[in-house]
Structure 1
Amino acid sequence: AITSLSYFFLQVALNILFVAILKFGANGVLLSLVISNTVAIVWMLFDLGKHHLFCFCINKQLLREALHYSIPIIPHNLSTHIAQFVSRVFINANTSLVSVGLFGLASKFGSLADMVQNSVNMAFQPWFFEQLSKREALDTKQIVSLSNSLVWLYGIVFLGLALFSQELIALMATDAYQSSWMLVPLIVAVFAIKTPYYFYINILFYYKKAAKYIFIATVSSSLLNVFLSYFFIKAWGMFGSVAADAIAMLLRVGIVVYLANKFSKIGYSLVRFGLHFLFLLLCMVVGLYPSYVQGNASVSIGACLYKIGVLIVFCIIALWANKGSVGGTLAILRKRR
């Protein structure tokens, strides 16, 4: 978790340095990716070597098994990127390159929300697999409790990005890109819809027989995304792309939940996920209503204080909702140490 989050903050810091301060533009984004990924690779080799966890060799049996497991996942990884690329093509065809730039910048900020979910899930997944391996001593209540705590943690990050996207873009981008902040909360909401996906997809990754079905969810939802984007972008421009993403994400989550329940039922509640999403959405609306009413008005201290107040209220409610599980979560972490 420390490594994943350190990589995340390093990449954000380098983006701010090269884009906002040094004004390198698109080259700054590419440079930050090169540096952060290089640091991550060097650290990985150093850490694995330090603990004697790898050697350079080829094990044909393991290679055959790994390919059998991973090849069906390739369409799963490619389909999402292809759908995002096609959406940008449709936006350019129906509006202009300016709209593509605005949408691209908003997507970068919005995707930070998904990066947080993915980074935390990389740390959560090994512990989750370990729990599933305890057939007779499997404690599903402990899994659900920790998962619920993570959902609230994601909510705090999502709400923070949504509320302060206007200020972040005002700090990092030129005046021509200021209006892109209005898309960020909508994109963050789409990734909030995706939250249950991460918990259920771990079940499919755990069972080898289930992994080959993962591409069904991503490929079908990506095809739906492309189909809807063609019509929605014509009607609503950039906002149509976000609407297509939301509907496609609901389909993806639905298929993954259905498949995961076929192999193992942990005890996750879709109703609870849904209520949390609606509450998060309500806080976004309350916090952003003045900003949307004012449109592209300049950033004000009063608006920032108001948003901070909304975020603090959300954090207090999150702590209250998890008062029974925080102790259990800390106990899990101490046990892992």
Structure 2
Amino acid sequence: MSSCDNLNDTLDKTSDAVELGLSISRYVLTIIGVVANLMVIIVFINCKIYRKCFTYLLLFQQASIDLFGCCFYLILFNYRVPDGEYGIVYCKSRTLFWMFASASTFNLVFISIERYIAVLHPLKYWMRGKVRTKMVPKLCVPWLFAILVVFQLAILSVPDKLSPGKCRYCYSSGTVRIISGGSIFLLNWIIPIFVMTFCYRRVYITMQNPTINLHKSSSSVQIDRTDETTDDTETKDNVFTVEGSQKQYYSKTQKNFIVTMVITTIVFAVSISPLLIVYLVYVLCDCFDYDRHPFRQAAIICFVSSLAANPFVYAFKFNEFKIGFEKTFIRRRH
């Protein structure tokens, strides 16, 4: 056997080992994500945390999105693409995972904007909360943006004729590839990270202002108690009070939640960056096979890790969840 044959055998074995490692990582990661997010949902329902304020309701939606995102990743990215028309349907169905991934991104952005308005414009936020509006239209905002951004992938995704059993994106021209990739990179990375960074930075600066007092005055007008008697679970966000016309007082619960979401945002930014950077390089230069490249597979796994990591962030930092977890899974044993 020649040295070239030995080299080819070695490369094939290495490729098989890498593929096996990625496959095991996908299964382990998605199972952890499903179990962890399901526990968050159970705690939120059992302790009715989602009824305390609209932002907590968004956090409940975040866990639901991440749960289904992990499920769709497990179903649609771990099996061979079938032949014929079923293969076309299977490849286009993968858009469901990207839709949930994008909805997860925009839901995080929505939470940051909610906190920004609540902290920097409390009276406006309070007046808006006084208006009895349904929650469903508000909760649909991240989904609307997600559908608009990733709908194009359902059109572009087709079975790969050169590599049976896999999917690829088919662009009619280089210009279409650049426009498609550039829009996804801009709307799913640049704008979300910029908005979340801006909002949480402004919130941090405001809450570090010397006029802020962590102790609530007994004469202050409390805003944001959950009205559990309303059918639409309309709430007024139990995170701040207003005294007089100038000073704003922020509770420890408010600060704890914001720190939790800042950590979640950092995890999101770190995990999604490799995938979208690799995608951006591909659409700009078209110098490698993006759909079959192992870097892309590893980058997707890195992104899915953020869907599984959020519950652990809540368990580590979010006091409301920690208390609810103890009530749901620990104290019940006694």
Return the TM-score normalized by structure 2: 0.32
Q: If each structure's helix is expressed as a fraction of its own residues, which one has the higher value?
A: 1
Between structures 1 and 2, the one with greater strand share:
2
Q: Which structure would you say has the larger Rg?
A: 2
Structure 1 length as normaliser, TM-score?
0.32
